[in-house]
Structure 1
Amino acid sequence: MSSSLNNETPKTPTQKQRTKCEVWTRVMGYHRPVSQFNKGKKSEFYSRVYYKEEHPSTAFMKKYASTHKPAAVCLK
């Protein structure tokens, strides 16, 4: 039988079975694990806002590539 029919919940791994994932970041030119930050630095790290900046030509191409129609070519 499937677990949905029995109303059983899937088993989750115990804390010992889980793999720890270490998060690193660059601070002042050095790479450091976030776990070694002090309380204030951790607070600052988790409140950071990340954004992706595109190259200016990429934004131009997205804006004008779909509206551009190639000129007709006349062959003699």
Structure 2
Amino acid sequence: MTQQNEQIELKDSERQKCEVWTRVMGYHRPVQSFNIGKKGEFEERVCFTEKSAQGHGEIHRTCCGR
């Protein structure tokens, strides 16, 4: 097996928009359908691990997919 380190590049015309969904109040909803206030809340969210909730870990933004 050989590994290839080639970068795949797409033209803008070959790309498609990605729809982001999130869970709010037990329901999954597309972020696009949020009002301006809820979109702002979504952008300010921080994810945490169980340890950080107990004060033993760090807060990680990357777990939210951003």
TM-score normalised over the length of structure 1: 0.49
1:20 counterpart SS class: coil
Q: Kindly report the root-mean-square deviation, in angstroms, between the aligned alpha carbons of the 2 structures.
A: 2.4
Q: Deviation string for 1:9-40 (max 9, x for gaps)?
A: xxx64443212111100111110000110100
Whole-angstrom distance in 1 between the partners of 2:12 and 2:34 = 23
Unaligned runs of 5+ in 2: 1-8, 57-66
Whole-angstrom distance in 1 between the partners of 2:44 and 2:26 = 20
Q: Please tell me the residue identity of whatever aligns with 1:17.
A: E
Q: Which has the higher contact order (CA 8 A, sep 6+)?
A: 2
Which structure carries more strand by proportion?
A: 2
Q: Which residue of 1 aligns with 2:30?
A: 33
1:32 counterpart SS class: strand
- Count, aligned residues: 46
Q: Please tell me the residue identity of whatever aligns with 2:41.
A: E
2:17 counterpart SS class: coil
1:35 counterpart SS class: helix
TM-score normalised over the length of structure 2: 0.55
